Amino acid sequence: MSSTLVSSASTQLPGSLRVVPLTELAETSQIVLSDKPRLINVTHQIPYSCTLVDRTSPAGASTTGANLSVGSPSINRRSPSVTPRQLASHGPSYFQDGTQSSAMGAACPSSDTHPDSDCVLEQRRGHSALYSGIKSLEKDMETIQIGWVGEVADQDGYVVPSKNLTESHKLIMQEKLWQKEKVVPIFLDDGRAAGHYEGYCKSVLWPLFHYILWDEATDGRTEKKNWEDYVFVNQQFADTVVEQYQAGDIVWIHDYHLTLVPHMVRQRLPGAAIGVFIHAPFPSSEIFRCLPKRVEVLNGLLGANQVGFQTYSYARHFISCCTRVNGYESTPRGVDALGSTVWVGTFPIGIDAERVERQRRTPGVLPKMDAIRKTYKGKRIIVGRDKLDLVKGVQQKLQAFEKFLNDYPEMQGEVVLIQVTSPPLVENPKLEAKVAELVAHINGTYGSLNFTPVHHYHQHIARDEYYALLSVADIGLITSVRDGMNTTSLEYIMCQSENHGPLILSEFTGTAGSLSGALMVNPWDYQGVARQLHKHVLSHTAQIWAKTFIAELTLNASTWDQSTPTPYLNVSLIMDHYKHTKKRLLMFDYDGTLTPIRKTPGAAVPQEHMLRALSSLAADPCNIVWVISGRDQIVLEEWLGHVANLGFSAEHGSFIRQPGSQKWINFTESLDMSWKNDVLGIFNYYTERTPGSFVEQKRSSVTWHYRLADPEFGAFQAKECQNHLENAVLSKLPVEILVGKKNLEVRPTIVNKGEIVKRLLHQHPDVEFVMCAGDDKTDEDMFRALAELSNTQHSSNAVGGAQKVVDEAAESYNHNLVAETATKFAEATLMHSQEHSLAVPQKNSIITARDGPYLKRSVMVEGDSSSFGSESATLSSTASLGSSMSSQGSTPLLGGNEPFSITIGQALKKTLANWHVTSPEELIRVLSILAGTDEV
C-alpha cells in the first residue's frame, strides 16, 4: 500500500513527526476487514525474556569470551522483574526441521546454522491480565505479537549490550520467538531504548498521567533528546507493524509508550483497522495541557479507529483534552479529527478468573497457607501488595496503619500488616528510604521483642506464596492515590471465596468505579460484600475485556465515518441530468446555503436574484422544491411564504408544510420537552459570561449564538458549554447537540433533516433527479440519507454481527413514541396527496436501493390500504444507527442516476456530500442557470 504523503499541506513537527489529515493522503481508503482477520498486538515489550546460551561452554561457565557479558557484573545484572532460573548447559535444538518462518520472510535454517549459541525463553513477570486477555483471542483468530525484546541476558544473568548482539543472535531470537507464539521482536539501541522508556515514558508521560507534575527546571536539551528517542522508537514499531500487516488485519496498540504509532501506521495504511488501549489513567485537560508535546500525543492517538480506557472518567478526560487542547469537535462517543471520527470507549480490564482459581488451588499453596497461619497465629492479618511507585500509596497506607494503632491501642499486638512491594523497573531510592523509615518507626514505636506490627518484603515473591498470602488475609488494603486498573483487588476477591475477608479499596483505583455498585451493601456484612465482589470479578474477566474491545473495534471500523475531498460541482453535468429528467426533487437548507451567514439571524433576508431563481424552479411542474431549514415557521413564511408551490420543513424537521398548503404539521407535540429548562439554564449561564452571545428559543429546540462575541473567546466558551451539556444533559435526556457555525443547538434526537429527506423520497419514488444542498453539520443528516441510497453495505463474516448489534442498541428506544411520530409523517403526506392528487405509492409499491441493502431500524405503521397511511411509514429510532427505507423490490430510485448532494465550503471539508461549491452565491448562480434566469 502506498505511503506517499501530500507534503504541501502536512505539518512538520519536532522530532520528525508528521501529522497529515486523512483527507490529504495521496491514497485514501475505507477500512478493510477480511473474513478471518489476523490480530496484530503491539506492546512495549514482548511477553518473554530472552537468555542467550553458549552451547560450547561447560555448565555454569562464563560467556564473557563469547562477547555475551560486559562491564562490572554488580551493575549489569538483569532487572529483578525477571524470574531467576537455572539453565541447562546445552539448550535443546529448536531449528532442526528447517521450516520457513513467515515473520522473517525467509527460511529458518537448521540448528547447524547457529552451532555455538541458543536462546531460552521465559514468561516475563507483570501484565498477566493483559497477556492473558490477548492470548484468549487466539481461539478465534490468528494472533501476532510485536514488541521490544527488552534486556537480553547471558546464561549467567548479565545484560548483553545491544552493540554486542550479532545478526546471528538476533536471528536465533526471532526464530525462537516466532515458533513459540508468533512473536516478532524489535531490537533497539540501548541509548534509544533508555531515552524512550526511562527518559520520556517514565520521566514525562508516566508522572503526568498519574497527576504528578515535574518539579525540576532544565534547559530543555535532555527533554528534546528524549522526545526524539520517543519518536524514533515509535517509528520503529510503526515500521514493523507495516511490514507484518496484511490486508484485512486488525492492529491493536497498547499503552502510553506507543501513543504516536496509530497515526504513523495510519499514514502508511489508511485502510487499516486500528485500536488503542491506554492501561494507565488519563489526566484531565488542566493537567494534560502542561505537556509540551500535548498536540502531537493526541494526534498520534487519534490515528486509530477506536481508543479504549479503563474507566469512563479517563475516556471523558481524553475527549475533553481533544476538544480543549486540540480544538476538535466531539461527542460523548468520540472525536471528529483529522478527517475521521475516532470512537472512544470504556473497557475495564479484569483478570483471568479461571487461571487464578486454578493456580490458587495448586498443591504448593496449601502448605504455605498453613505456615503463614502458624506464624501469625491469633493475629488479624492485613495484606497489601503494591509496586513501589509514588502513586501506589504505600506511604499513605503505612501512615494510616500507624494512625490506627495509635487511636485504638487495644489493637496493638492483635493486628499485623504484611506489605509486599515489588521493585519497579526504574528504582526510586528516595521512596524506598522513606518507606523503610516509616516501617522502622512503626515497629519501634508499637512493636516489642515478641511482636512486629509491620512485615515489609521489598521483593518479588513466588506465585504460591502470593496466593497463599491473599487466601489467609483477614483484610485486603489497597490505598493507591492514582491507578489505572489495580488487579490485585480482583485477585484478592477470588482468593477470599472461603474466608470472605473485606476489601478496603482506594476510590482512585480503576477498579473502584467498576466495583462501586457491589460495595453498596452493609459494611459489616463481610460475607455479603465478598460474595458480591466475587460475582463481579467473574463477569469482568481479562478474556471478556479483550473480546469486547476487539468486537467494538470491528464494528466501529466497519462503519468508520471517513470523508474524502469533494470535487467542485460540475455545472455541465448537473445541467445535462436536469434537462433529460421529467421529475425532479430539489431540497435546500436556508442559512449559509440560499443566503450567506449573517452576524445576527434576523439579517439573513433573502436576496432578489435568489427568490427569482427559487420561484422559477418551483413553478416548473416537473420540479418538487423544498426548503429544509433550522428556522422556525414564522420566519420561513415571512421570507419565503409568497413563493408558490414551495414546501417547507422548519426547525430541522420538527414541522413541515406541503407545497401549496397553508397548514403546518407538528411532529414533536407528543414529545416531552421538559429538557429545555435544563438546557436554558446552561445556555443562560454562558450567555452571562460571554459578551455578544444570546439564546434563541424555538418550539422544538434551543440555540446559543456567539457570532457577535470575540471569535477566540466565543469558540473557547462554546467548547466549555458543549462539554457541560454533554456531562449534564446528554447522559440522561434524549437530546443531541448540533455544532453549527457560531452556534450550539440542542434538539430531540428523534427528529432531524435526514428523516424529511427519506419521507420525500418515499413519497416520490419515481423521481429521476435529486439535488440537495446544505452547509453545516445539521445538513449532513440529509447527505447521509442520500448516501445510504447509493452505498453498498459491506457484507463480510468479520462484520456480520453488525446488524445484530445495531438492533440490540435500538431496542432501548421508546418505540411507541417513534410510532406516534411516524404516524404524523404518514398523516401529513396523506393530507397532501388528497389535497393535490399527487401520485402516491400503492400498498405493494417498494423502493429499491441501487447497490443493495443497508442497515435499517424502522417502525411499521398500518392503516387503510387505499391511502398512503397503509404504507410502511418509517422513522429512524436514531439517526446514528443508519436507518432507511425498505430496500427490496425492482423499481430503481432516481432512474439509476446519482443524487447531487452539494455542500457549501472547501474541498477538504469533512462531509458526506459528493460535490461542493465555495459560497452561497455560487450555488444561487447554478440554480439560476437551471431555472433559465441566467446564462452559462
Residues labelled catalytic: 589
Contact 128, 121 (CB under 8 A): no
Please tell me the distance from the alpha carbon of residue 905 to that of residue 119, in angstroms, as a whole number.
60
Please tell me the distance from the alpha carbon of residue 508 to that of residue 483, in angstroms, as a whole number.
6
Per the structure block, which three cell numbers stand in for 201?
A: 515514558
Rounded to the nearest 10 degrees, the angle between the axes of helix 753-763 and helix 815-836 is: 50
Give the full edge-to-edge strand order of the sheet including 475-478. Answer: 454-457, 415-422, 380-387, 475-478, 503-505
Please tell me the distance from the alpha carbon of residue 626 to that of residue 631, in angstroms, as a whole number.
14
- Helices assigned H by DSSP within 289-428: 294-301, 312-324, 353-359, 365-375, 394-407
Name residues whose C-beta falls within 8 Å of residue 621's C-beta, 6 or more positions apart in sequence: none
Per the structure block, which three cell numbers stand in for 76?
A: 549489569
Identify which of 358, 386, 376 has the alpha carbon closest to the alpha carbon of residue 495: 358
Overall size of the chain counted in residues = 936
Check residue 591 and report its DSSP letter.
Answer: B
CB atoms within 10 A of CB 234: 24
Ramachandran category for residue 339: left, alpha or beta (phi over 0 → left; psi -120 to 50 → alpha) = left
Per the structure block, which three cell numbers stand in for 262?
A: 496509530
- Give the three-class secondary structure for 739: strand
HEC sequence for 431-447: HHHHHHHHHHHHHHHHC
Contact 302, 263 (CB under 8 A): yes
Please tell me the distance from the alpha carbon of residue 119 to that of residue 50, in angstroms, as a whole number.
6
Per the structure block, which three cell numbers stand in for 370?
A: 498453613
Pairing of strands 329-331, 334-337: antiparallel
Name residues whose C-beta falls within 8 Å of residue 533's C-beta, 6 or more positions apart in sequence: 493, 503, 515, 518, 519
In sequence order, what are the beta bridge partners of 697?
Answer: 702
Please tell me the distance from the alpha carbon of residue 170 to that of residue 152, in angstroms, as a whole number.
10
Instruction: Report the sign of the C-alpha dihedral through residues 381, 386, 388, 392, in that order.
Output: negative
HEC sequence for 78-93: CCCCCCCCCCCCCCCC
